[in-house]
Structure 1
Amino acid sequence: MSTTSAERTACGWVDENAAALSRWTSEIWHKGETAWREYESAAWYVERLRAEGFEVEEGSGGMPTAFAAEWRNGDGPVIASYAEYDGVPGNCQAAATVRRPREGLTEYAGGHTDPHSALGMSAFGGVLAAKAAMEREGLKGTLKFFGEPAEKVRGSKPIHAARGYYDGLDAMISFHPCYMLPLCNTVNWDTHCGAAYAMVYRFICDEPETWLKRAEGQPIPQAHSAVRAPGANDALFAMYNSGKALRDSMLPHMGGWSISEAILTAGQATADNLPARIAEIQYIIRVPTVEMAEQATMMLDRFAAAAAQLTHCRYERIWVSKSRPGLANHVMADLVYKKLEAVGAPRWGEKAKAIAREIQANLGLEPMTEPFLPDCERLMPPEEAERILRRDLPPSQVNYTSDDYTEMCWHAPTARLYIARPMLSAPAGYAYPDWVMNALGGIPETIDPMTVCAAKTIALSILELMQNDERRLAAKREFEERTGGGIGGSQWLAPLCDYDPPVNLRWPEYVETRRGREWWMPTAGY
């Protein structure tokens, strides 16, 4: 597997600490915290990083659940990776072979889908393994490790980028569990993720009493019978339907383009004959280019203005994310894939297979001798994955799908690594329910093989970048060529973020009540 003393030390560290990585992954997974509210998860990383000798800035970039950590071992290259740890509302699943929420919660609470719990721990394990090797072998250099909240709304990385946190890096390694084929046990080649804009439109009905002139002699409106201003809920409803028209007319159903929405806040909790004073709807636009995102935003702005005028409201647009499309780096992709080849694809043992068969049986399926997709244990060369991916894309489309690691690509040579998460084979015509993937991401026997494989690959890649000046400088030269001179070059895209972190919006979260700890929708009665 490994050929140098440093590589053997790093892989040995992962093997020796595999049980701890498994335990830590499970701990983050069970927290199930969601975007901008990952308080316990971020605190866990900060405490652990400090225990490992890192200097840590908490709340980096003005984001309470972000951090920036650094460990120096003398002058040398600066290599970085990062953790994500946000889950998704409405995906609370137990680490079990049947569908059920985690104890004390409902299915509407947060849960890990990708899972970011293992994403973060894989990168953390890789960085710690590289650190152990650097200490033992006396390798000079700096490791940086970022805590990136709210990836599901592409939240933190545009802010970190705009505020200079990625400047001065020699390389960045981005990891994500496989989320679609053929991007499984491979590295992105040319087609990286696209641009994305996310925003919240807030409708406010400031003076509902001025919508109609009050009748003569009526000092107060007849509250339960008088006409009333449509108000914020009607504005939101008009905006929601207009947005659907945009989606159907502006974005054809191909090429990975999408506009998705979520209703955040309603400003009235009764059915009285009073207008809602405030309502909020969030949109995220995932498209290949910034120009397309700008066009879609322009149309949403028009819809918001019309909805507000119609309903006696005003509106505000609050930015959540403005992120750039990704930038390829073949030197980095080749370097990381060679380390993945040295480590080998993950392997699932009999305990994991028995769990997978139990899930199949509980779903009424015939358990399979080999329940996992063959792709899970097969390497896919980056150029071959690229060829398969592009079969269904128009030649003019450079970027595809969505993730905000793309921000890092414009500040340092970046590789995007994918390792197989546990995915089950299915009988012809059958689709597994979503809870199955979520559960497999939380069961140690099924998720640990991915974490170990990814941690070793990241560690070996970091060590190669630390020691191989020729390859590291070649990656930098390619970065400079693609950006027309590096940061600030003629083809470089500057950060788009011109807004403050949107942490004060009414994001779903866990709350403490007299009934105990609950999801923001009360547990009692569900």
Structure 2
Amino acid sequence: MNASKEAARDWVAAHERQLSDWHQIIWNYAEPAWREYRSAAWYVHTLREHGFSVEEGSGGMPTAFCAEWRNGEGGPTVGAYAEYDATPDHSQQAVPWEAPREGLSRYAAGHVDPHSALGIGALAGVLAAQHAMRQHHIAGRLKFFGEPAEKTCGSKPIHAAKGYYDDVDAFISFHPAYLLPHCNSVNWDVHAGCSYGRVFTFECRHAETWGGPSPLRTLWPAHALAPRAPGALDAACLMYTSSKYLYGAMLPRNSGWYITEYMMTGGQATADNQTARIAQLYYCWRAPTVEMMERVAEVLENNAQHVAAMTHCTCRGEWVQKNRPGLPNHVMARLGYANLRLAGPPQFGEEARAFGRKILENLGYTPPEDPFLPECSQLHDPEEVDAILRESLPPWQKNMLSDDYTEYGWHAPTVRLFIGRCMVERPQDGPQTVLPSWAFDALGGKRECIDPTIFSAGRTIAYIILDLLTKPEVLARAWEEFTERTGGGKGGSRWIPPLLPADHPAPIHFRWPEYVTTPRGERQWWLPESPFDRASGT
């Protein structure tokens, strides 16, 4: 280990308590996609305190940012990022039993993966590298992005389309491990696939014109006359069912794709004699290739226009996200894994194990002394991980699942890094069912369980940054591979440009779940707590 990496390692060690406190702030904010106001403001303030210049609201996204810091003249630009969106329906305290956060609906948001650790781990790496750059006079620029709404794969396609990634020489993408064998490793060939998201809005603006003029001469208001149009809610129901029926015809069933839907708005339930004037359905689908994604888009668009005509409605579609499949870079993968080996995977102490044992006890198991999967603290060779992933994929398929980090890889060589986190191993003496999600969520908020992940990520990311800044031959090889894989670099024959236009607006105007302030209280979840929940104590 050279002197600059020692300086970065020592910075992380000296700031462990502060990093832990920072993580608790973001974890407790628990703000969902497109509504991460406090979390983004915290990052902006903290980065400015550390000398970064920060553009708030980058790309027209109120909870995004773009931060820059330069040391000396010249040198490469290395990019990293924070995510900080939480997931609705995962409200959970950092306790070893199911307990939604105090004073909130059980349907409020909570950090699942957790993105709170993703962001603080990446920030730790960038600040540790900044410290080493100053101390050892290393020239270069750090570019740190605030990326909201990863759960909708939302911000990175917009940043990419608007040119924010065009001046970066290499990217580092980090995520806490969420499945095996992706644990204390990096992606090799199998990267994430595509994700598209589109909102269909059905509106019945003139329900009174359904069926022609009324034979009655009346002064009753037009909205109360029968027959009235089926309306927007019927359109949404028909869209939902017709698209369900056609799932099997959109793409082959064995191609590793899937689609989900979410009813954003279902009429305005304030009068019992009104036709539903507006309804919105959000569709998100994932598949390995852009061609497959476009086929699904065609079917959904066709369905939407037909059901609108059937129900006396208009229909418009608006894109939330369109992201590209991942592009491998073996040079970056080798560099990332070498530095992960140097930094070391996280190790979890007795307090963490005691917390895990208590979770298992409360679920009816007899816990072992070490309740965590051993893989959480072990290194995993990326080529061996890749071979395991390939066992479940057809030979033609190059990508699986989806994540919008893939946008970075089409603009500069990118490494995708996974650091282990506590995962409880289910004993054989109890219910042989999937462990509940609250247990996973609680582990992400317990300091002793999540902090080692943050510290390992911080060391690893700092080491990668320092190598990229001081080893021009490695960066040159990474760009040679990038150029070959894209058929000539950006604009090459195999390069995929951003899938959204440069003027694409941020999809912040939809009715995304959020916290609200009303006369009934501050920072309430948009779905109020039920009195039945309070009465039952569940």
TM-score norm. by structure 1 comes to 0.97
Contact 2:32–2:109 (8 Å) recurs in 1: yes
Instruction: Give the superposition deviation at 1:242.
Output: 1.7
Residue 490 of structure 1 aligns to a residue whose secondary structure is: coil
**2:519 aligned with 1:514, yes or no?**
yes
Instruction: Give the superposition deviation at 1:431.
Output: 1.6
Contact 2:208–2:225 (8 Å) recurs in 1: no
Choose the corresponding residue for 1:483, options 462, 474, 486: 486
Choose the corresponding residue for 1:22, options 9, 14, 20: 20
CA distance in 1, matches of 2:224, 2:364: 54
**2:259 aligned with 1:285, yes or no?**
no
Question: Higher mean Cα deviation, 423-432 or 312-321?
Answer: 423-432
Match of 1:451 in 2: 454
TM-score norm. by structure 2 comes to 0.95
Match of 2:198 in 1: 199
Instruction: Give the superposition deviation at 1:80.
Output: 0.9
Match of 1:505 in 2: 510
Alignment deviations for residues 101-131 of structure 1 (CA, whole Å, 9 cap, x no partner): 1111121111111110100111000000000
**2:303 aligned with 1:303, yes or no?**
yes
Residue 400 of structure 2 aligns to a residue whose secondary structure is: coil
CA distance in 2, matches of 1:31, 1:71: 27
Instruction: Give the superposition deviation at 1:24.
Output: 0.7
CA distance in 1, matches of 2:215, 2:244: 39
CA distance in 2, matches of 1:304, 1:376: 45
CA distance in 2, matches of 1:455, 1:251: 41
Contact 1:57–1:68 (8 Å) recurs in 2: yes
Distance 1:270 1:414, change over 3 A: same
CA distance in 1, matches of 2:245, 2:94: 39
Contact 2:105–2:530 (8 Å) recurs in 1: no
CA distance in 2, matches of 1:430, 1:217: 65
CA distance in 2, matches of 1:218, 1:453: 75
Instruction: Give the superposition deviation at 1:226.
Output: 3.2
CA distance in 1, matches of 2:403, 2:264: 22
Q: Which runs of 5+ in 1 are unaligned?
A: none
Instruction: Give the superposition deviation at 1:231.
Output: 0.7
Residue 399 of structure 2 aligns to a residue whose secondary structure is: coil
Contact 1:251–1:258 (8 Å) recurs in 2: no
Q: Write out aligned runs for 1:367-446 (5 A).
A: 367-428=367-428, 429-446=432-449
Alignment deviations for residues 456-505 of structure 1 (CA, whole Å, 9 cap, x no partner): 11110100111111111111111111111211112111101122111111
Residue 400 of structure 1 aligns to a residue whose secondary structure is: strand
Choose the corresponding residue for 1:50, options 21, 24, 48: 48
Residue 85 of structure 2 aligns to a residue whose secondary structure is: coil
Q: Amino acid of the residue matched to residue 38 of structure 2?
A: E
Contact 1:480–1:486 (8 Å) recurs in 2: yes
CA distance in 1, matches of 2:247, 2:381: 35
CA distance in 2, matches of 1:20, 1:82: 19
CA distance in 1, matches of 2:252, 2:528: 39
CA distance in 1, matches of 2:434, 2:530: 32
CA distance in 2, matches of 1:36, 1:17: 30
CA distance in 2, matches of 1:518, 1:215: 49
Pairs aligned (count): 524
RMSD: 1.4
Match of 2:536 in 1: none
Instruction: Give the superposition deviation at 1:271.
Output: 5.3
CA distance in 1, matches of 2:462, 2:246: 45
Match of 2:63 in 1: 65
Match of 1:263 in 2: 263
Residue 192 of structure 2 aligns to a residue whose secondary structure is: coil
Q: Amino acid of the residue matched to residue 53 of structure 1?
A: G
Match of 2:86 in 1: 87
Instruction: Give the superposition deviation at 1:266.
Output: 2.5
Choose the corresponding residue for 2:476, options 473, 478, 483: 473
Match of 1:143 in 2: 142
Match of 1:176 in 2: 175
CA distance in 2, matches of 1:488, 1:59: 28
CA distance in 1, matches of 2:62, 2:357: 42
Q: Which runs of 5+ in 2 are unaligned?
A: 534-538
Identity of aligned residues (%): 53
CA distance in 2, matches of 1:39, 1:479: 36
Q: Amino acid of the residue matched to residue 137 of structure 1?
A: H
Choose the corresponding residue for 1:523, options 517, 526, 529: 529
Q: Amino acid of the residue matched to residue 67 of structure 1?
A: F
Instruction: Give the superposition deviation at 1:248.
Output: 3.7
Match of 1:188 in 2: 187
Contact 2:106–2:529 (8 Å) recurs in 1: no
Q: Amino acid of the residue matched to residue 362 of structure 1?
A: N
Match of 1:134 in 2: 133
CA distance in 2, matches of 1:435, 1:520: 21
Alignment deviations for residues 107-164 of structure 1 (CA, whole Å, 9 cap, x no partner): 1111111110100111000000000000100100000100000111110000100111
CA distance in 2, matches of 1:209, 1:277: 11
Residue 317 of structure 2 aligns to a residue whose secondary structure is: strand
CA distance in 2, matches of 1:223, 1:290: 45
Match of 1:101 in 2: 100
CA distance in 1, matches of 2:19, 2:64: 21
